[in-house]
């Protein structure tokens, strides 16, 4: 093998030549400023990542300061009334949350949406437990603060999920749900130093969620109408439901016998007002005035966010969204997650002014 030996004299000579060459180059007009510019550019490229990441680190640290109030205590177990079995079961709290997330949100949803659902379900459950401890269990199930149906939150045990969904689902999807719950273990939503009492959610809003007071009785500061722009994959978009005027009129009169509708015909049906979330607030039907949510209930419409068209003897309701429209839109959460939003951003969007600890 041939080895190149470079003497110190040769190195000094080369360096002198390079220095002379750069002196000549820099003496050419415009070369000096260009060289300076390139030097600055190199410096900028080296330092840019440092300056760009520094504020993000600061922001992240700022986003979760330790709270100045006492955090709620999550018990190890929770009592849940299981309707099919007809008895109350004592379940591990976090395992119960897994069974709720599996039953309340499609497992195909994005991980960040499932994590948001886990925090909402955990918060709702603990609020019900605390409420029951202070004022007693609900009349519908006097032995437990929660039940396993839509009356509270739908819950299915691991065994019943295995039976309903099959072995493949248990390997892939159940694992994903458990991971969403584990990654947010113990996290709860707070508003103004208090545990959120009503972490309500619905399937999809149709574009905008509702103020609590427009759907239920009272105003809640974190349940206010917000845009829900990423619901493209939602079910029940522009869903049409048609009825004959006679059938429509019979259903309303049957459900609300105390409203004096009189004769209902195609010329006396009209939407009077809408909420800020675009749901029908009041309708004039015959001689009566009725709330949009009651029309939704009588006709079994997916949402009170509807338009009405009448053609001859047929009345058609075109509705958008599914559910009451208050709090987190599940399809909206999935849409946000797919756009890159974290579960924390999703939760603070749908539950205005809340913090997660
Ligand atoms: Zn219940």
Query: pLDDT tens digits, residue range 193-209?
Result: 999 999 999 999 999 99
**Are 141 and 251 contained in the same domain?**
no
Contact of 315 with 242, CB cutoff 8 Å = yes
Examine the pLDDT at 317 and tell me if it is beyond 80. yes
The top-scoring range by mean pLDDT among 2-6, 68-72, 143-147 is 143-147
Distance 82 CA to ligand 1 centre (A): 9
Domain range holding 272?
239-319
Examine the pLDDT at 250 and tell me if it is beyond 80. yes
Distance 7 CA to ligand 1 centre (A): 90
Q: How many structural domains is the chain composed of?
A: 2
**Are 197 and 330 contained in the same domain?**
yes
Residue with tokens 């009077």: 272
**Are 329 and 314 contained in the same domain?**
no
Which region among 57-66, 167-176, 335-344 has the lowest average model confidence (pLDDT)?
57-66
| Overall pTM surpassing 0.75 (yes/no) | yes
Distance 204 CA to ligand 1 centre (A): 22
**Are 264 and 180 contained in the same domain?**
no
Q: Identify whether 45 is part of a domain.
A: no
pLDDT tens by residue, 189-246 = 999 999 999 999 999 999 999 999 988 889 999 999 999 999 999 999 999 999 999 9
Say how far apart CA 73 and CA 188 lie, in whole Å.
Answer: 10
What beta strand segments (E) does 205-311 contain? 239-244, 269-274, 280-285, 288-291, 306-311
Q: Identify whether 121 is part of a domain.
A: yes
Distance 80 CA to ligand 1 centre (A): 9
Q: Identify whether 311 is part of a domain.
A: yes
Distance 70 CA to ligand 1 centre (A): 28
**Are 134 and 210 contained in the same domain?**
yes
Distance 250 CA to ligand 1 centre (A): 31
**Are 103 and 227 contained in the same domain?**
yes
Q: Identify whether 128 is part of a domain.
A: yes
**Are 183 and 246 contained in the same domain?**
no
Distance 338 CA to ligand 1 centre (A): 32
Contact of 165 with 99, CB cutoff 8 Å = no
Average pLDDT (158-170) is 95
**Are 212 and 183 contained in the same domain?**
yes
Q: Identify whether 13 is part of a domain.
A: no
Q: Identify whether 264 is part of a domain.
A: yes
**Are 255 and 121 contained in the same domain?**
no
Which residues, at least 6 apart from 227, have a Cβ–Cβ distance to it below 8 Å? 207, 208
pLDDT tens by residue, 18-65 = 666 666 666 666 667 766 777 677 666 666 555 544 443 344 444 556
Torsion of CA 205, 209, 210, 211, to 10 degrees: 160
Examine the pLDDT at 126 and tell me if it is beyond 70. yes
**Are 149 and 226 contained in the same domain?**
yes
Distance 131 CA to ligand 1 centre (A): 13
Distance 324 CA to ligand 1 centre (A): 18
Distance 85 CA to ligand 1 centre (A): 14
Distance 139 CA to ligand 1 centre (A): 9
Say how far apart CA 75 and CA 71 lie, in whole Å.
Answer: 13
Say which residue, 302 or 64, is predicted with more confidence. Answer: 302
Which region among 39-53, 75-89, 153-167, 187-201 has the lowest average model confidence (pLDDT)?
39-53
Output Rg (C-alpha) for the chain, integer angstroms.
31
Element (H or E) spanning 14, and its range? Answer: helix 8-27
**Are 206 and 312 contained in the same domain?**
no
pLDDT value at position 14? Answer: 66
**Are 226 and 262 contained in the same domain?**
no
Say how far apart CA 231 and CA 192 lie, in whole Å.
Answer: 29
The first and second tokens of residue 131, run together, are 């409420």
Q: Identify whether 173 is part of a domain.
A: yes
pLDDT value at position 211? Answer: 95
pLDDT tens by residue, 107-125 = 999 999 999 999 999 999 9
pLDDT value at position 184? Answer: 98
Distance 110 CA to ligand 1 centre (A): 28
Q: Identify whether 156 is part of a domain.
A: yes
């Amino acid at each position: 093998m041939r080895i190149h030996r470079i003497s110190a004299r040769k190195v000094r000579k080369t360096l002198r030549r390079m220095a002379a060459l750069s002196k000549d180059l820099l003496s050419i007009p415009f070369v000096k400023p260009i060289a300076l510019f390139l030097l600055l550019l190199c410096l900028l490229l080296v330092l840019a990542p440092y300056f760009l990441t520094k504020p993000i680190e600061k922001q992240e640290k700022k986003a979760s300061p330790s709270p100045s109030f006492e955090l709620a205590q999550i018990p190890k177990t929770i009592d849940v009334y299981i309707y099919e079995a007809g008895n109350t079961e004592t379940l591990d709290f976090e395992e119960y949350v897994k069974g709720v997330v599996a039953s309340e949100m499609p497992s195909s949803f994005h991980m960040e949406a499932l994590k948001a659902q886990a925090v909402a379900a955990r918060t709702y459950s603990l609020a019900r437990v605390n409420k029951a401890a202070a004022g007693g269990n609900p009349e519908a199930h006097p032995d437990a603060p929660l039940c396993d149906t839509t009356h509270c939150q739908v819950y299915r045990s691991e065994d019943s999920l295995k039976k309903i969904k099959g072995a493949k689902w248990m390997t892939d999807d159940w694992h994903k749900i458990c991971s969403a719950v584990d990654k947010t273990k113990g996290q709860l939503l707070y508003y103004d130093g208090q545990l959120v009492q009503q972490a309500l959610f619905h399937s999809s809003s149709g574009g905008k969620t509702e103020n609590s007071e427009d759907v239920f009785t009272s105003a809640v500061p974190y349940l206010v109408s917000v845009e829900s722009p990423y619901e493209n994959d939602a079910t029940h978009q522009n869903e049409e439901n048609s009825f004959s005027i006679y059938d429509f009129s019979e259903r309303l009169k049957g459900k609300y016998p105390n409203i004096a509708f009189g004769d209902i015909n195609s010329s006396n049906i009209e939407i009077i007002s809408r909420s800020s979330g675009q749901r029908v607030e009041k309708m004039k039907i015959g001689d009566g005035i009725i709330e949009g949510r009651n029309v939704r209930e009588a006709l079994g419409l997916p949402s009170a966010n509807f338009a009405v068209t009448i053609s001859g003897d047929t009345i058609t309701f075109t509705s958008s969204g599914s559910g009451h429209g208050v709090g987190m839109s599940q399809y909206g959460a999935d849409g946000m997650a797919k756009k890159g939003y974290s579960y924390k951003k999703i939760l603070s969007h749908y539950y205005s002014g809340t913090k997660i600890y």
